[in-house]
């Protein structure tokens, strides 16, 4: 997959990288580090090998593999609504 043209923007090329992925589980969020992904060098779209996607699903269900719990602020965007 590395070096292929991005399916999303059709311009960038995919480079293998290790990313931090925010994986939604129910109403919660699991943060995974060092996830191998192919990242578009133009738009940043991420692609995963099938086995990586499968592993992320598996890890998201396994509480005992949690390495660390972190907290972070959640801020609601309070900008004015566009009018007219």
Q: Which is nearer to Zn ion, 31 or 42 (CB)?
A: 42
**15 versus 54: smaller Cβ distance to Zn ion:** 15
Strand partners, 6: none
What is the contact surface with Zn ion in residues (CB under 5 A)?
6, 8-9, 12, 40, 42-43, 45
**6 and 14 in contact (C-beta within 8 Å)?**
yes
Cα–Cα distance, 58 to 3 (Å, whole number): 28
Name the residue with tokens 């109403």.
Answer: 27
CB of 52 to Zn ion, least distance (A): 18
Smallest separation (angstroms) from Zn ion to the CB of 14:
8
């Amino acid at each position: 997959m590395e070096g292929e043209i991005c399916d999303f923007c059709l311009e960038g090329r995919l480079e293998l990288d290790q990313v931090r992925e925010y994986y939604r589980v129910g109403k919660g969020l699991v943060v995974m580090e060092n996830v191998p992904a192919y990242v578009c060098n133009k738009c940043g779209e991420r692609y995963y090998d099938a086995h990586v996607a499968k592993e992320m699903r598996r890890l998201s269900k396994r509480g005992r593999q949690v390495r660390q719990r972190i907290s972070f602020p959640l801020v609601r965007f309070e900008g004015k609504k566009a009018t007219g």
